[in-house]
Amino acid sequence: MNDKDETNKARTTRPTTQEFKDFMGEHWAPHEDVEVTRIAAAPYAAERRARLSDLFPGTRFSVPAGELKTRANDTDYRFRPSSDFTYLTGLGIDHEPGAVLLFEPREGAAGHDIVLYLVPPAQPGDEGFYSDPAAGEFWIGRRPGLAEFEAMTGIATKALADLPASIDAAAEPGEDIRAALAEMRFVKDEYEIQQLRDAVDATIAGFERVVPELPRAIAHKRGERVIEATFDGHAREEGNAVGYETIAAAGPHATTLHWISNTGQVRAGDLLLLDAGVEVESLYTADITRTLPIDGTFTPLQRRVYEIVLEAADAAFAIVKPGIRFLDVHLAAMEVIEKRLTEWGIAPAQEDAESKLYRRWMVHGTSHHLGLDVHDCAEAKRELYLEGVLEPGMVFTIEPGLYFQEGDLVAPEELRGIGVRIEDDIVVTEDGAENLSAALPRDPDEVEAWMKRLAR
């Protein structure tokens, strides 16, 4: 027993007389049935398991959901299963701490016997019902049992206690299996694309809730937190949570790529870079960025920077179609960035074209795959990711930016403290691409009109 188990045991100590146990185990109303309809993801997850099984004939392996993670002392973060576990089972939201999906090779036959091992809930009549904070329904509420999970997923289900002793319940699958799963996830099926559409729609609605709160953000000493709380509250209302920590970067903070402290003030006349995404209950997430004039109108200088970034995004989007390399999307955007910064006189002369000195103001990549993880498919082989060829069903971001940090003595003084990023989520189609987030304005005139319409 670890220290945390000891702490929980001490904190949940209850009388142990037989009389008390009998009293706690009796006179509870029957449960209302938990929904056991086959989940929508089940047939898609079954096909994914079959594909993975075919890739590793005769290999025994397991995919864990993961354990609860300690936030502090004896309190845990809200549980989120691993993305690979969700991909193979279809189980999202907070299903199911400690679970393990085991692929057991069939003796004398092709394929695997696949079993989902779970911790059964402790129900009335079980001692753990009132004494086990991890599985007791007195603590965590009504949970599906083994038969219910089997009905939901279509996977044979057993108690975690029956997991073969030779299997480490916490061990991640091998690198080869993780890479195979990442590469399988490049192309989304119709269920996944619909989940991503839903996530994008919910995210757009979240952006629409932020704009009317800008006056309150301006008045608050930590206005960035007002923006973060507005979006994050929306994500909890409409989805599972945010797909990643919200970046609510106002003024010079917009030049810090991963500004998630969100402790700054929001001032009229500055820009707000809002990078945020709703994760829906299936755990698919959107990832959208808009850079907004806080008082509703771009200054001429802000607009000039913004229009360069928008031109780069449009150039990248214009070339997307099956058959090109993923890397080509980035190169198309950077060609615009280089050209415009050179024309402006910002990018210095360079002796070696490979130096790409203009990258000082955009050091990140233009695109990343999107799905169950905001940076999806990250364990795929490099040659299949950056050098990979686009196929219909791939979903990724296009997100060029320009970032002139306050302390950047190379940048013109009037640009220092301006940061702009525009990010959209796209799906590759049979003959091009669809911008899933096109309903959120990106043209500067349309952004201003949209903000005016939403303002209180």
Write out pLDDT tens, residues 43-94: 999 999 999 999 999 999 999 999 999 999 988 899 999 999 999 999 998 8
* Of 130-144, 263-277, 392-406, minimum mean pLDDT range: 130-144
Q: Give pLDDT, residue 34.
A: 62
Q: Is the pLDDT of residue 219 over 80?
A: yes
| Residues 6 or more apart whose Cβ sits within 8 Å of residue 252 | 405, 406, 416, 417, 419
349: pLDDT confidence band, cut at 50, 70 and 90?
confident
State the amino acid at position 368 in one-letter form.
H
Most confident of 24-38, 282-296, 341-355: 282-296
Band of residue 312 on the pLDDT scale cut at 50, 70, 90? very high
Looking at 116-120, 139-143, 437-441, which range is the least confident one?
139-143
Average pLDDT (28-40) is: 79
Q: In angstroms, rounded to a whole number, what is the distance separating the alpha carbons of residues 141 and 122?
A: 10
Q: Kindly state the average pLDDT of the residues 399-423.
A: 98
Q: Which among 308, 331, 286 has a CA at the least distance from the CA of 402? A: 308
Report percent pLDDT > 70 for the chain. Answer: 96
The rounded radius of gyration (Å) of the Cα atoms in the chain is 25
Give Cα 276 distance to the centre of its chain: 10
Choose the weakest-confidence range: 118-122, 371-375, 408-412.
Answer: 118-122
- In the predicted structure, residue 122 carries a pLDDT above the cut 90: no
Task: Provide mean pLDDT across the span 256-281.
Answer: 98
- What pLDDT score was predicted for residue 14? 61
Predicted confidence (pLDDT) at residue 16 exceeds the cutoff of 80 = no
When pLDDT is cut at 50, 70 and 90, the band that residue 31 belongs to is confident
Note the pLDDT of residue 1: 44
Nearest Cα neighbor of 255 from 112, 403, 396, 130 is 403
State the pLDDT at residue 4.
52
Check: CB of residue 118 under 8 Å from CB of residue 81.
no
What average pLDDT does range 189-214 have in this prediction?
A: 98
Whether the predicted pLDDT of 351 surpasses 90: no
Task: Please check the confidence at residue 250 and state whether its pLDDT lies above 90.
Answer: yes
At 148, the pLDDT band (50, 70, 90 cuts) reads: very high
Residue 456 pLDDT exceeds 80: no
Q: What's the rounded Cα separation, in Å, for the pair 386 and 364?
A: 13
Per-residue pLDDT at 8 exceeds 60: no
For residue 11, what pLDDT is reported? 56
Q: What is the mean pLDDT of the chain?
A: 94
Compute how many other C-beta atoms are within 10 angstroms of the C-beta atom of residue 393.
17
Instruction: Kindly tell me if the per-residue pLDDT of 123 is higher than 90.
Output: no
How confident is residue 128, by pLDDT bands cut at 50, 70 and 90? confident
Q: What is the reported pLDDT for 58?
A: 95
pLDDT on residue 218 = 98
Does the pLDDT at position 7 exceed 60?
Answer: no
pTM as predicted: 0.94
Q: Is residue 408's pLDDT more than 60?
A: yes
Average pLDDT over residues 208-212: 98
- Region 163-188 average pLDDT: 96
